[in-house]
Amino acid sequence: MVFTPLIGWPALALAATSCAITFLVTAKTHRGSIMDRRRKRSRWKKRTRAGTTVFVPYEVGAWDQLQQAMADAQETTGPTRRQATAQARLDVVAMRTNPDGADGLGWLQYGRGEPGIAWHAPVGEQAYLSVTFAVSGQLRGIESSTVMAQAAHGWGAFLASRAVPSALVQDVQVTTRVLPADTAMQEFWVLNNLDPTAPQAAVASYEEVLRLTGADAMVQRHFVTVKWPLTAAFYDAAAKYGEDRDGWRALMRQEIDSTQRGLVESKIGRVEILTARQLAAVIRHQQNPSRPIDFVADVHPSRLGETSHDEFSAHVVDGVDPITAAPVEWWHRTAAIRAESLATAARTQLWVLDVLIGKDLQFIRSVSFHIHLVPASEAKAAARQDLVRDTAEALSRQEAGQLDTGDTDVHMTAARRRGQDLVSGSQHHGAVWIGYVTISVRSRDELARASRQLEETCSTGLGIESLDWMDSYQAAASGTTWPIGRGLIGTTPSFSARVYSQLAGKSEKEALS
């Protein structure tokens, strides 16, 4: 607009060329856009130069040795000085307290026999507390449609009760770990109850039964992680219970009890609160599946990581089998399931069943969905905006004489249904979600095959057009499927919501709550 009156058609040609280049660079494909691929490649080069592609758990003795090696390298003279200093710097950078997937994680409470309260302070994100609950699941075996509907309603009621503005909970993460069946409990029972006079053939027959039933069988372990952001509302509420961290722990005891009761009422099965050691054992098992998921004998909450290194498309963990003491290697790869990649259609609560118990997926995996709770007032505004936008698009197509492919009608129906669900008095609230899947195998070739199998299952069974592989930072992406609440940044509240929050202020000092 500025240069066209001055130089004429060259300005129009330049503008058209710029628009074409912008479209080509940002156009979304099943492998992402050109800009996305360039960003990943640039990130990988920066990480490689910085040395953050390698992780070694922090140990005092090893750290002192690295510091001494750094000092010796700096005192070296001659042509090898630069190379020795660079290698010593990389070794120092590699040794860190927490792995990339759990950066900034500490503990508010980590004693034996008490709920583990993780304290998170990720770089560039809001600090929060999290507690993880182990649940047995809503459905056990064959259940009627009535039981399924009651379970779905109960889970929705649990989320809605914690989406109100007065609640301190912000996000909920649901994680399912799919792993081979473990017959250790059956073997332990036989060891304690076997008749010494039992025929050897009968004992061998039972061993064969355990082996056959455990072959190619996968079981699921479910976890629910709840997040409490450390906001002014949290500090104000904790001040009513005591000073400083004592007030935090007292408030969290009440919040944990309330959450446990809510989970039980939501018909999600048996509910158990994980201690800090149990949570650390789960995280280390997810990095090194050779470790049993419940093995806590050598676990300390302060050590969450296994020695590992990154490749562009893989997080490779070098671990040890605690049973045989043999070295093992596990390859992990994580992909995101985004809402924009999901076909808009009516779904049931069983729409992810193919990923959880799919017969074609015989590899270990973790499936995690993060849910950010949105109060009804904010959700209503978003639903109205979506309905207005879809209606305007349909009208513009009609006025232009274009045929509607049906996508707009589907979107309008979905937005209209959301508006009906959020009508006043319905006690419904909104949510923003994202899903992640981490696959774990023994080798690079197996990882390539498993990646293709997962993509095929998601496209044919789940209606997911494309998976967004978290390449170039797979070590950090692994943390999105650990039960610690990583992987979702909540929506920014609207201006009116921020104004009402400021008007609400803090509670009075004399008030009980």
pLDDT tens over the chain, length 513 residues: 777 777 777 888 888 888 888 888 887 776 677 888 888 999 999 999 999 999 999 999 888 888 888 888 888 777 778 888 888 898 999 999 999 999 999 999 999 999 999 999 998 889 999 999 999 988 777 777 788 888 888 888 899 888 888 889 989 999 999 998 776 667 767 777 778 888 888 878 877 777 776 666 788 899 999 999 999 889 999 998 988 899 999 999 999 999 999 999 998 889 999 999 999 999 999 999 999 998 898 899 999 999 999 999 999 999 999 888 899 999 999 999 998 888 777 777 888 888 888 767 889 999 999 999 988 777 777 767 776 776 776 777 777 766 665 566 666 666 666 666 766 666 778 888 999 999 999 999 999 999 999 999 988 878 888 899 999 999 999 999 999 999 887 666 666 666 666 666 666 666 655
Distance in angstroms (rounded) separating the CA atoms of residues 463 and 18: 35
- What's the predicted TM-score (pTM) here? 0.85
- Spatial CB neighbours of 65, under 8 Å, sequence gap ≥ 6: none
- CB of 338 closer than 8 Å to CB of 434: yes
Partner residues linked to 55 by β-bridges: 308
Q: Where on the phi/psi map is residue 52: left (φ > 0), alpha (ψ -120 to 50), or beta? A: alpha
Distance in angstroms (rounded) separating the CA atoms of residues 389 and 412: 9
- DSSP 8-state assignment for residue 303: -
Of residues 269, 460, 467, 289, the one with CA closest to residue 358: 460
